[in-house]
């Protein structure tokens, strides 16, 4: 909504679709159907409020925004009173102030006087507004009401006696998250906000109820009592656990990241943040964080100086130039680090560099691409086809945009998946089929006809499709579908900065990641990778790395890195460095360093610059980050196609999805997220008919095997899984060997 102040010396003529109103003597135009509060906000006229939030529906239940409207015998709530032509409003008249102060007094009747010890103190809307509208002495002498708290899970702390029943949290879980987990219980002066079933919040966006709460009723359980707001310094940063690149602030005290809050950007994450981005900072301080250069000497790990570590790395690289060297890069690596890694590989004569460590099929030379429809426009789509994605876990805020497209724009959403995943929007159509039948499903005449009926269509291709051994044929089918229907293709980049790394040249002119692992190199550079969990084919990776000399640039000195590496160089994670990432829209965004680098860890670009400078390689002559950024430019790499993987053997097709809180090394170490109800232990999920045929029951242990390895996992029977398919979540050590296209399943 908008309001436009006008020159009071001229006769106001409202534009079409607008009315002329006056607020506090200021004449302005406002759109028909908008509310007084919209016009006042646009004109910069402050009106106190608690229940109103620009992203949520209007509730009008706190009454703090009461104003004096001419000719109205009663006070009017500014958030719920539509503007009318000729309306005159007073927000600061004696009558209006009396209304507002009276409401403030009622709100404070039952509110506890715990501001000095309240963890919301210093950033509490109630505290701020009461300073201007509250009385210095309470006239209420009766006993204050006390509300029992309930456990809402590991992320959100509750103190419901402070609640003023604004219902912002209720409306958020209903309208944005779509989980309807909170509501008003009881009536009258017994009204309280709580969960319907007494269970923890399960939405992947639960932390946002903390942001919308105007009091200290809902707070950050991980941050609780660690610091006061005025002790914190805010640093602009980015989410780096998916390709959206959510804008956020790191709240830092003495170099330690204590809290993460959203930074508003309507084109990316609006004003929301996923729990994965909000709480992952806990993982930065894990016990196995790499804080000192380590070198394996005579089979034993020894701490060494940076000079010794760089000399050892230089020796390895000098001895393994050209095709003997492979460079494997995590897809969340920054543009600056990626560009230097590409320069390093080129200077050493190696075309064996790749960041596509999750992919299996390179027969169509796949490279990450920007979304065909900008993220902010997806909520305006008429038809959305979701192909091979548990989008709610893969990109939580894209899932929220899709829900918004349906609730606000009436979008018809169709899904083709191996599992009937739990989404918070209704599906106009769905085909639950094994991944090998995705291409066939896209040729469904009814789907094509339904989508053709709408003018604004998008097809979203997710991780299940992108990382399948037959991904090339699925991508080709998506392109044919788009050509037949006019849909725009949005392939979700497989990594937080996969698109940026592709543009920076972190792509193979020689061997891709599959070839580098199938035909082992003599030496490897691992950058930001946890080798036991991050590769699509963990067994092949560990086999290839075990027989090679490995230089690992890593944030963590974990067991799997120690097993395969000969040298560990500790580098900073994104919250600790200045960096640039490119999100799924192709938007380059910068993050500022917030947290202090632990121990002797250094920024990755700085380590690469020192190494390249010592070796006197081209492209390493800059002296600071500004100099590096000035030298950055897109690098075109002609990526060769390789043979499509052969799918052989009997058994069930695998539908592998990244576990929501096991996507990368930092998230896997965030303790609160590991305790979240959405974080499941390793398991194998199959439908009832397949389970009955194998004589398996819920909870029974089953042996799941491939040519590469075997695992023993508990069985979950779920009718949502397609016939002939097993659903496995990656990111667990137990499921790491099960990345093949087919697995055998027998009772343990």
In a domain, residue 574? The reply is yes
Does a structural domain hold residue 476?
Answer: yes
DSSP 486-509: TPEEEEPPSSTTHHHHHHTT-S-S
Percent of the chain surpassing pLDDT 90: 89
Q: What is the CATH number of the domain that holds 656?
A: 2.40.40.20
Rounded-to-integer distance, Cα 532 and Cα 513, Å:
15
Q: Strands, E, within 643-741: which ranges?
A: 652-658, 684-686, 701-705, 710-717, 725-730
- Please, are residues 510 and 535 in contact by the beta-carbon 8 Å criterion? no
Number of domains in the chain: 5
Residues 510 and 400 in one domain: no
pLDDT in tens, 671-727: 999 999 999 999 999 999 999 999 999 999 999 988 778 899 999 999 999 999 999
The verdict on 12 and 104 lying in the same domain is yes
Query: With bands split at pLDDT 50, 70 and 90, how would you rate the model's confidence at 644?
Result: confident
DSSP 597: P
**727 and 680 inside one domain:** yes
Which pLDDT score is estimated for 722? Answer: 96
Last residue of a domain, one of 597, 631, 665: 631
**CATH number of domain containing 90:** 3.10.20.740
653 within 8 A of 741, measured Cβ to Cβ = yes
Considering the domain boundaries, does residue 358 fall inside one?
yes
Q: Are residues 34 and 14 in the same domain?
A: yes
Residue 740 CA to residue 724 CA, distance in Å, equals 15
Which CATH number characterizes residue 593's domain? 3.40.50.740
Place of tokens 């085909």: 431
Do 380 and 527 lie in a common domain? no
Give the model's pLDDT for residue 189.
84
Would strands 652-658 and 742-747 be described as parallel, antiparallel, or unpaired?
Answer: antiparallel
Task: Give 550's strand partners.
Answer: 524
pLDDT of residue 140: 87
The contacts of residue 140 (CB under 8 Å, 6+ apart) are 109
Considering the domain boundaries, does residue 646 fall inside one?
Answer: no
Query: Would the pLDDT of 5 be above 90?
Result: no
User: Average model confidence (pLDDT) for the chain?
Assistant: 94
Give the residue numbers spanning the domain of 245: 137-285
Q: Are residues 265 and 345 located together in one domain of the fold?
A: no
DSSP 283: G
The yes-or-no verdict on residue 478 having pLDDT over 80 is yes
pLDDT in tens, 726-739: 999 999 999 998 87
Residue 230 lies in a domain: yes
Residues 6+ positions from 173 with CB-CB distance below 8 Å: 179, 180, 181, 182, 201, 203, 209
Length of the chain measured in residues: 748
Domain identity same for 408 and 467: yes
Same domain, 569 and 674: no
With contact defined as beta carbons under 8 Å apart, do 618 and 355 qualify? no
Task: Write the pLDDT tens digit of every residue in 50-97.
Answer: 999 999 999 999 999 999 999 999 999 999 999 999 999 999 999 999
Residue (of 697, 700, 680) closest to 688 by Cα position = 697
Same-domain pairing of 551 and 518 = yes
CA distance 662 to 670: 9
Asked, for residue 647, whether it belongs to a domain, the answer is no
Say whether both 521 and 397 belong to one domain: no
* pLDDT, tens only, 367-417: 999 999 999 999 999 999 999 999 999 999 999 999 999 999 999 999 999
Asked if residue 331 is part of any domain, the answer here is: yes
**Predicted local confidence at residue 6, as pLDDT:** 59
Are residue 149 and residue 280 in the same domain, yes or no?
yes
What is the CATH number for 267? 3.30.70.20
What percent of the chain has a predicted confidence (pLDDT) above 70?
A: 98
734: exposed, middle or buried (C-beta count within 10 Å: 0-12, 13-18, 19+)?
middle
Confidence band of 1 (pLDDT split at 50, 70, 90): very low
Domain C-terminal end among 471, 491, 511: 491
Any domain includes 118: no
Neighbours of 8 (CB within 10 A): 12
Same domain, 730 and 705: yes
Can you tell me the mean pLDDT for 345-352?
A: 97
């Amino acid at each position: 909504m908008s309001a436009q102040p006008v020159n009071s010396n001229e006769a106001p003529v409202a534009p079409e679709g607008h009315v002329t109103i006056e607020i506090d003597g200021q004449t302005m135009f406002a759109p028909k159907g908008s509310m007084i509060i919209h016009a006042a906000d646009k004109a910069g006229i402050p009106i106190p409020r608690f229940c109103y939030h620009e992203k949520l529906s209007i509730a009008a239940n706190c009454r703090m925004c009461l104003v004096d409207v001419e000719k109205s015998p009663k006070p009017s709530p500014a958030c719920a009173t539509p503007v009318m032509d000729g309306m005159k409003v007073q927000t600061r008249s004696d009558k209006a102030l009396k209304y507002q102060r009276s409401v403030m007094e009622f709100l404070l009747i039952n509110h506890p006087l715990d501001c000095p010890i309240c963890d919301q103190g210093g950033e509490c809307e109630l505290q701020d507004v009461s300073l201007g509208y509250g009385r210095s002495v309470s006239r209420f002498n009766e006993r204050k009401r006390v509300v029992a708290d309930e456990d809402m899970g590991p992320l959100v702390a509750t103190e419901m006696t402070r609640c003023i029943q604004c219902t912002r949290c209720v409306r958020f879980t209903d309208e944005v998250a779509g989980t309807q987990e909170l509501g008003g219980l009881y009536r009258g002066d017994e009204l309280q906000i709580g969960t319907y079933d007494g269970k923890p919040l399960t939405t992947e966006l639960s932390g946002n109820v903390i942001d919308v709460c105007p009091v200290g009723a809902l707070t950050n359980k991980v941050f609780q009592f660690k610091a006061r707001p005025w002790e914190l310094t805010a640093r602009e940063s980015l989410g780096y656990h998916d390709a959206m690149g959510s804008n956020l602030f790191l709240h830092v005290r003495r170099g330690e990241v204590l809290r993460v809050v959203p930074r508003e950007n309507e084109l990316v994450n609006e004003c929301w943040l996923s729990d994965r981005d909000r709480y992952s900072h806990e993982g930065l301080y894990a016990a196995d964080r790499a804080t000192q250069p380590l070198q394996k000497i005579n089979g034993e790990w020894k701490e060494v100086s940076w000079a010794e570590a760089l000399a050892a790395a230089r020796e390895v690289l000098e001895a393994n130039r050209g095709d003997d060297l492979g460079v494997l890069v995590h897809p969340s690596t920054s543009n600056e680090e990626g560009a230097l890694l590409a320069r390093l590989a080129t200077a050493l004569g190696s075309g064996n560099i790749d960041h596509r460590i999750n992919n299996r099929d390179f027969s169509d030379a796949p490279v990450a691409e920007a979304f065909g429809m900008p993220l902010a426009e997806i909520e305006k789509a008429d038809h959305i086809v979701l192909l091979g994605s548990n989008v709610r876990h893969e990109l939580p805020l894209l899932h929220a945009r899709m829900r918004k497209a349906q609730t606000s724009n009436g979008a018809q959403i169709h899904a083709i998946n191996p599992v009937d995943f739990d989404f918070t929007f209704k599906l106009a159509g769905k085909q639950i089929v094994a991944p090998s039948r995705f291409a066939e499903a896209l040729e469904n005449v009814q789907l094509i006809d339904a989508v053709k009926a709408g003018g604004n269509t998008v097809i979203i291709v997710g991780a299940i499709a992108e990382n399948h051994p037959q991904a090339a044929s699925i991508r080709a089918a998506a392109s044919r579908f788009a050509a037949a229907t006019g849909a725009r293709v949005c392939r979700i980049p497989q990594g937080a900065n996969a698109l940026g790394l592709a543009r920076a040249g972190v792509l193979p002119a020689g061997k891709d990641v599959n070839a580098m692992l199938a035909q082992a190199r003599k030496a490897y550079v691992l950058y930001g990778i946890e080798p036991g969990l991050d590769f699509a084919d963990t067994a092949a990776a560990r086999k290839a790395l075990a027989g090679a000399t490995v230089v690992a640039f890593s944030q963590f000195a974990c067991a799997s890195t120690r097993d395969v590496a000969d040298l560990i160089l500790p580098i900073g994670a994104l919250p600790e460095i200045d960096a640039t990432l490119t999100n799924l829209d192709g938007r380059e965004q910068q993050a500022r360093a917030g947290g202090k680098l632990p121990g002797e860890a250094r920024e990755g670009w700085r380590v690469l610059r020192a190494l390249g400078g010592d070796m006197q390689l081209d492209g390493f002559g800059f002296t600071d980050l500004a100099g590096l950024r000035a030298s950055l430019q897109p690098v075109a790499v002609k990526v060769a196609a390789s043979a499509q993987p052969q799918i052989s053997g009997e058994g069930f097709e695998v539908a592998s999805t990244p576990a929501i809180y096991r996507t990368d090394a930092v998230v896997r170490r965030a303790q609160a997220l590991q305790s979240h109800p959405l974080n499941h232990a390793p398991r194998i999920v199959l439908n009832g008919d397949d389970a009955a045929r194998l004589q398996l029951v819920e909870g029974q242990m089953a042996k799941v095997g491939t040519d590469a390895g075997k695992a023993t996992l508990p069985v979950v029977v779920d009718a949502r899984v397609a016939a002939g398919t097993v659903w496995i979540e990656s990111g667990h050590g137990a499921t790491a060997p099960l990345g093949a296209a087919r697995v055998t399943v027998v009772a343990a």
